A and B are shown apart, each in its own frame.
Chain A
Amino acid sequence: MAGQLENAKVNVLLVGTFDPNTVGPDRLGEAKVIRSDEAAAARFKTLVPGQVTDFTLGWCTVTVTRERFAVESAEPPFVKISDFIQKAISELMPQASVTAMGINRAYTIRFSSPEERDRFGTRLVPPSSWGNWGRRIQQTMATDDDKHGGVLNVTMKEFPIADREGGARHVTVAADVASNVSAQIIVNDHFQAPADSSLPAALEPDELARRRTNVILRALAEQFDASLNLLETIATEVVNG
């Protein structure tokens, strides 16, 4: 194997319209979205009333702004992220409008040596494909000095996705500038709410927004596990080549 995947984190990000005031730890505890002891122990990172609510619970970080709702965790079972979002939105933010969702997995790729990392980077993005300039960069890799040039980050996109309308998948691999034996890989599964043109005509705007939201939340409920499995598989394939 080219490298070891470590430090898995999962993040689900919704894009749309949200009310950050409605998802503080206290309210979440009252609604039993989280346990009361979790609510009591929550730590705020940022709080700007009406604009940003950003706090940590024992197992996750929650960030809500007027346009974004994100939950991130490094602690399995990751389905808790999906359950948290579904319950918080359906019970505390029924007026929320969700237009898109990203299910994201991130790993650190740990290599056994700087050379192994370099081989990985050059496999993904061959410097020789970048003309003489790329070949000069490649020559710097052959020296003993492990501070040399190379790919900083690369992103690949899959589109369209066979089993759903809209949406895409992205994989980004980025060099870890702080370490010469690791890199980061982030795999994203992007879901897009249906266009208004595909929903029944003559619906009120609120109802349209609700239906769009329901499509996304249903995708979250039904596809979360499969998506995480697939993202892990993709990350493993990218690392192993």
Chain B
Amino acid sequence: MADTDGWQGWANPFAGRAMTAGHSWPNLFATRGVTSTPLWPSALPGVGYSPRGIVTPFGVPVGGWDFGAGGVSAGELGQLPQWSIPGHQDWTLMYQSSYAPDFAAALGTVATEEQPWFNVGASNVTRMLRSAPRETAPAIEVTAEWDGYVEKISKDHFVARMRGLKGKGVEGSDEEAEIPMSLVDAADLDLVVPGGFFRLIVTDEKPKVGPKRSYTSVQFRRLPAYTKRDLDAAEREADEILNAFRLASGGQATGA
């Protein structure tokens, strides 16, 4: 099956080279011979894929990867130039999910600089993985959501038409709302125009510790802008309608 290593389709900037590590990381790839069991066979285009490759798009480890017969030694890794990006020193690293430490332990693999790092094909992109901290973000549940647009703007509020998308007593409803301007982020005020679209959501956040909290927010949508192509196509369509009407009334069609 094509792309079973998970990297095919992802450009390999290093063709033939590997990236430097300079650190000791739990190496998810150091277990040679782990059967490739990609969660997302890449023969299914459009199915969620991740540059994390080994695992699901959402960082859940479920198998290992056999990248082929070649390997990359620590010495070779050390040959690579350092790349840097402002504000981020570890750009070569891909972050594994919160489960990585346990996963690595479960596989019984710990790599060191002396050991061959990867069982990877030289033609494949090689990445070093470092565990991210276990997720501590609270679980968010959307209890209600509306899609709306601005009808009228007053000094301190705007009037909107909304359609309920989710929530008890909300879903499917057509509603009119008066929403205080203070709920709109200052950086989004230029989006508050007649016809401007927004989402109003009520969410519950359940932290790992502590009580549930409820939040209400108004988020204005950043939609595509009309392009010349859009406007030209609309004009052509308008010309077609007008010409059809002229012909129907016995007149002459005019060129578009």
Contacts and interface: CB of A to CB of B under 8 A. Distances in A.
Question: Do A and B belong to a common assembly?
Answer: yes
Interface of A: 6-9, 11, 13-15, 32-37, 43-48, 51-52, 54, 63, 65-68, 70, 72, 74-77, 79-80, 83-84, 86-87, 90-91, 94, 99-102, 104, 106, 152-153, 168, 170, 172, 174-179, 184, 186, 188, 190-192, 225, 229
Interface string B61-96: 111000000000000000000010101100111110
Interface of B: 9-11, 13, 37, 39-40, 44-51, 56-58, 60-63, 83, 85, 87-88, 91-95, 99, 101-103, 106, 135, 137, 139-142, 145, 147, 165-166, 185, 187-188, 199, 201, 203, 219, 221-225, 227
Contact of B187 (A6, A37, A72): A37
B222 A87 contact: yes
A83 B221 contact: yes
Nearest to A86: B224
A174 B37 CA distance: 12
Contacts of A67: 9-11
Contacts of A104: 47-48, 57
A54 B48 CA distance: 16
B88 A43 contact: yes
Given A63-B51, A192-B46, A175 B62 contact: yes
A44 B106 contact: no
7 tightest Cβ-Cβ pairs between the two chains A and B: A178-B102, A100-B46, A178-B99, A102-B46, A104-B48, A77-B199, A51-B11
Query: Which residue, of A14, A75, A186, has the highest number of chain B Cβ atoms within 10 A?
Result: A186
B58 A186 contact: yes
A45 B95 contact: yes
Contacts of B139: 6-7
Query: Which residue, of A44, A45, A65, A152, has the highest number of chain B Cβ atoms within 10 A?
Result: A45
23 contacts: A7-B135, A11-B48, A13-B46, A44-B91, A45-B88, A46-B91, A47-B83, A54-B51, A74-B137, A76-B203, A77-B142, A77-B201, A77-B219, A91-B225, A100-B46, A102-B47, A104-B57, A106-B57, A106-B60, A153-B37, A174-B56, A178-B106, A225-B165
Contacts of B103: 177-178
Given A77-B142, A179-B99, A229-B166, 5 more contacts: A33-B222, A35-B185, A74-B140, A175-B62, A178-B61
Contacts of B141: 8
B86 to A, nearest CB: 8
Contacts of A84: 222
B44 A170 contact: yes
A177 B62 contact: yes
A191 B46 CA distance: 7
B188 A35 contact: yes
A7 B44 CA distance: 25
Given A67-B9, A104-B48, A90 B201 contact: no
A161 to B, nearest CB: 12
A80 to B, nearest CB: 7
A153 B37 CA distance: 10
Nearest to B135: A7
B57 A70 contact: yes
Given A72-B57, A106-B58, A178-B102, A190 B222 contact: no
B46 A190 contact: yes
Nearest to B98: A178
